[in-house]
């Protein structure tokens, strides 16, 4: 059967620092996949966690993407502009008893064995303030990844009633990401393998909201050491915006794609990279150690 749904992909960085090699992999990988499917590639800035945000990082991310020739379609969606939508959804979930307030502390959850046991959801006199958790009716524990095949996560993790709004009033990533993937009509999510496990929670939410979930494609993570991905938090170096050609080639090689003769115009390199993009060559493993 021919799939006639137009492809819509996205890149969704958090503005917690400048783009580094690890985030370039997610940006370039999602871009090449979308463009090789003749699809759209949208950009969403996930700026709903002000304590983790670095001033100026959003603009720096946009200008770095532009310098790398990674041009997105349409306007940028900022999650900070969508707080009312998140709140409306939460109010609805609370009203239909699909979510509830929880006042358990980290210490109490640790005493439950590290996985929340749903106790606040069973109270006859429910709390009226606190963090808000979803009633995780579906508890999806297994999903299909486009390159890794069937993925199964820890069943306790999968079944947990997870937080959709934190006790400090901030909206949780899981809720915002799902509402925005629905809003932007994303057909396939391409991102790093650090988000493999949360994918189950996201599928559970899609089901609860009675929406079809996108396809999932998790790229390998660039790691400085085993189990330690390159990240803004561990101060991975920002990528070179003056001469992007070398970083593009390094990212192509990381994704199993052929390196290209460095062109003066990065757009020429990207055109070629799109035309020869081969998903079957992307490594299946979740982590790849970078040799210094
Ligand atoms: N904002 C997340 C990050 O920067 C990525 C979210 C996603 O791709 O689903 O790690």
Residue 1 within any structural domain of the chain: no
Say yes or no to pLDDT of 175 above 60: yes
- What mean pLDDT is predicted for residues 146-152? 97
Query: Measured from the CA of 13, which atom of ligand 1 is nearest?
Result: 4
C-alpha to C-alpha distance for 44 and 29, rounded to whole angstroms: 16
The percentage of residues in the chain with a pLDDT greater than 70, rounded to a whole number, is 97
Measured over the CA atoms of residue 248, residue 250, residue 253 and residue 254, the dihedral's sign is negative
Higher per-residue confidence, 15 vs 291: 15
Tell me, in angstroms, the distance from the centre of ligand 1 to residue 195's CA. Answer: 8
* 141 in Cβ contact with 122 (< 8 Å): no
Does residue 191 line the site of ligand 1, with CB under 6 A?
A: yes
Torsion angle, CA of 109/111/115/120, rounded to 10 degrees?
-50
Residue 285 within any structural domain of the chain: yes
- Cα angle value 44/288/203 (rounded, 5°): 45
Per-residue pLDDT band for 226 (boundaries 50, 70, 90) equals confident
Write down the pLDDT at residue 235: 64
Residue 58 within any structural domain of the chain: yes
Tell me, in angstroms, the distance from the centre of ligand 1 to residue 23's CA. Answer: 9
Write down the pLDDT at residue 185: 98
Does residue 195 line the site of ligand 1, with CB under 6 A?
A: yes
Write down the pLDDT at residue 206: 98
Strand order through the sheet with 142-145 = 149-152, 142-145, 215-219, 188-192
C-alpha to C-alpha distance for 258 and 244, rounded to whole angstroms: 16
C-alpha to C-alpha distance for 185 and 8, rounded to whole angstroms: 7
Write down the pLDDT at residue 292: 63
Higher per-residue confidence, 286 vs 263: 286
Residue 2 within any structural domain of the chain: no
Q: In this structure, what CATH number is given to the domain that contains residue 110?
A: 3.40.50.620
Query: Measured from the CA of 11, which atom of ligand 1 is nearest?
Result: 8
Give 81's contacts (C-beta < 8 A, 6+ positions apart).
none
Tell me, in angstroms, the distance from the centre of ligand 1 to residue 6's CA. Answer: 23
pLDDT tens string 44-79: 999 999 999 999 999 999 999 999 999 999 999 999
Q: How does DSSP assign the chain, residue by residue? A: ----SPPEEEE---SSS--BHHHHHHHHHHHHHHHHTT-EEEEEE----GGG--TTHHHHHHHHHHHTT-PPSSPPEEGGG-HHHHHHHHHHHHHTTSEEEE---HHHHHHTTSS---GGGG-SS--SSSEEEE--SS---EEEETTTEEEE--HHHHHS--EEE-TTSPBPHHHHHHHHHHHTT-SEEEEEGGGHHHHHHHHHHHHHTT-PPPEEEEEPEEEEETTEE--TTTTPPBPPSS-HHHHHHHHHHHTTPPP-PPPSSHHHHHHHHHHT--GGGS--SSEEEPP-
Tell me the average pLDDT of the chain.
Answer: 95
Write down the pLDDT at residue 110: 95
Residue 93 within any structural domain of the chain: yes
Closest CA to 213 of 284, 144, 132: 144
The percentage of residues in the chain with a pLDDT greater than 90, rounded to a whole number, is 89
Write down the pLDDT at residue 251: 96
Does residue 136 line the site of ligand 1, with CB under 6 A?
A: no
Give 203's contacts (C-beta < 8 A, 6+ positions apart).
138, 140, 143, 213
Write down the pLDDT at residue 115: 93
Residue 3 within any structural domain of the chain: no
Does residue 13 line the site of ligand 1, with CB under 6 A?
A: yes
Mutate to test the pocket of ligand 1, among 10, 23, 28, 195 (most ligand atoms within 8 A of CB): 195
Tell me, in angstroms, the distance from the centre of ligand 1 to residue 159's CA. Answer: 22
pLDDT tens string 76-126: 999 999 999 999 999 999 999 999 999 999 999 999 999 999 999 999 999
Say yes or no to pLDDT of 291 above 90: no
Say yes or no to pLDDT of 2 above 80: no
Lowest mean pLDDT among 17-26, 45-54, 225-234: 225-234
Does residue 12 line the site of ligand 1, with CB under 6 A?
A: yes
Tell me, in angstroms, the distance from the centre of ligand 1 to residue 264's CA. Answer: 31
Give 74's Cβ-side CA count (13 Å radius): 14
Tell me, in angstroms, the distance from the centre of ligand 1 to residue 12's CA. Answer: 5
Does residue 15 line the site of ligand 1, with CB under 6 A?
A: no
Closest CA to 70 of 232, 244, 219, 286: 244
Mutate to test the pocket of ligand 1, among 13, 17, 193, 231 (most ligand atoms within 8 A of CB): 13
Total number of domains constituting the chain: 1
* CA 162 remoteness from chain centre: 17
Per-residue pLDDT band for 193 (boundaries 50, 70, 90) equals very high
Per-residue pLDDT band for 186 (boundaries 50, 70, 90) equals very high
C-alpha to C-alpha distance for 229 and 238, rounded to whole angstroms: 15
- What mean pLDDT is predicted for residues 194-208? 97
Say yes or no to pLDDT of 279 above 70: yes
Does residue 89 line the site of ligand 1, with CB under 6 A?
A: no
Containing structural domain, residue 102: 8-289
Does residue 214 line the site of ligand 1, with CB under 6 A?
A: no
Residue 82 within any structural domain of the chain: yes
Tell me, in angstroms, the distance from the centre of ligand 1 to residue 269's CA. Answer: 26
Per-residue pLDDT band for 233 (boundaries 50, 70, 90) equals low
Residues β-bridged to residue 192? 219
């Amino acid at each position: 059967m021919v799939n006639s749904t137009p492809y819509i992909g996205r890149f969704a960085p958090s503005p917690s620092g400048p783009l580094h090699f690890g985030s370039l992999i997610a940006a370039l990988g999602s871009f090449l996949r979308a463009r090789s499917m003749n699809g759209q590639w949208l950009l969403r800035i996930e700026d709903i966690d002000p304590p983790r945000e670095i001033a100026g990082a959003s603009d720096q991310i946009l200008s770095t993407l532009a310098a790398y020739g990674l041009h997105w379609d349409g306007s940028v969606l900022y999650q900070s502009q969508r707080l009312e939508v998140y709140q409306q959804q939460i109010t609805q979930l609370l009203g239909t008893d699909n979510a509830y307030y929880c006042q358990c502390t980290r210490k109490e959850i640790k005493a439950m064995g590290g996985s929340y046991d749903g106790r606040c959801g069973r109270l006859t006199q429910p709390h009226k303030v606190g963090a808000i958790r979803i009633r995780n009716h579906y508890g999806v524990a297994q999903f299909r990844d486009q390159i890794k095949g069937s993925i199964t996560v820890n069943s306790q993790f999968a079944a947990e009633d997870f937080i959709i709004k934190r006790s400090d009033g901030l909206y949780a990533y899981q809720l915002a990401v799902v509402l925005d993937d629905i809003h932007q009509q994303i057909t396939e999510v391409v991102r790093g393998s650090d988000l493999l496990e949360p994918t189950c929670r996201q599928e559970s939410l899609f089901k609860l909201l009675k929406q079809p979930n996108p396809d999932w494609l998790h790229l390998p993570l660039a790691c400085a050491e085993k189990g330690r991905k390159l990240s803004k938090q561990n101060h991975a170096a920002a990528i070179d915006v003056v001469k992007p050609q070398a970083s593009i080639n390094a990212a192509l090689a990381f994704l199993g794609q052929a390196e290209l003769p460095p062109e003066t115009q990065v757009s020429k390199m990207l055109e070629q990279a799109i035309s020869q993009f081969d998903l079957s060559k992307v490594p299946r493993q979740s982590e790849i150690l970078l040799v210094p």
